[in-house]
Amino acid sequence: MRIDEIIPLLKAVRLFRDVEIEALRLLAFSGTKQNLAPDDILFFSGMASEGGYLVLEGRIRMEPLHETRSLPLVYGRGVLIGQAALFAPIHHPATALALDNAMVLLMSRALMLKVLEAYPQSARAMQQSLNDEMQVFSKTLLRISAPLA
């Protein structure tokens, strides 16, 4: 997949919506593309994460270690898996497995740090996006917990 095909997928992710095009080019060019065949494991639950994965093609099923959902989650083209792992070392909460021929773009924490340092305006845009996401999350928690009080 060409860089000019990856950039619109990155731009469609809320975190990268307001990021400079040059920063997106760096992510698209320097990220590691990984091809997966059906039933290939992208990562196992409990493994240390290397970074975030953008699904470029195909579908990835996330299977939680403990059965917390009735059905596993399935992610397709344009979905970012492991947003938090772009910024902090975490362990995968689920196993990721390709349902069909798939391709992902791994964006490591080291690459993300390089982007944040080289493009401070993009760093601020990502920070604002994360802040907005946390505000929505906080309001949801307040709404859910209000009847319990």
Distances from the Cα of 23 to the Cα of 11, 16, 18, 113, 123, angstroms: 11, 9, 10, 11, 10
- For residues 118 and 54, give the distance between their C-alpha atoms in angstroms, rounded to a whole number: 21
Please determine, for residue 22, whether its predicted confidence score (pLDDT) is greater than 70: yes
Closest listed residue to residue 97, CA positions, set 135, 45, 142, 47: 45
Please determine, for residue 123, whether its predicted confidence score (pLDDT) is greater than 60: yes
The stretches of 12-119 forming alpha helices (DSSP H) are 21-30, 109-118
- For residues 81 and 31, give the distance between their C-alpha atoms in angstroms, rounded to a whole number: 14
Q: What is the mean pLDDT of residues 102-107?
A: 98
pTM of the model: 0.88
Q: What is the CATH number of domain 3-148?
A: 2.60.120.10
**3-state SS assignment for residue 54:** strand
**pLDDT for the residue 71:** 56
Domain parsing of the chain, residue ranges: 3-148
pLDDT tens across 70-98, in order?
556 899 999 999 999 999 999 999 999 99
Q: What is the mean pLDDT of residues 89-113?
A: 96
Q: Could you tell me the pLDDT band of residue 11, with boundaries at 50, 70 and 90?
A: very high
Please determine, for residue 67, whether its predicted confidence score (pLDDT) is greater than 70: no
pLDDT tens across 29-44, in order?
999 999 999 999 999 9
Q: Could you tell me the pLDDT band of residue 118, with boundaries at 50, 70 and 90?
A: very high
**pLDDT for the residue 26:** 97
Tell me the two tokens of residue 45: 């639950």
Higher pLDDT, 78 or 136: 78
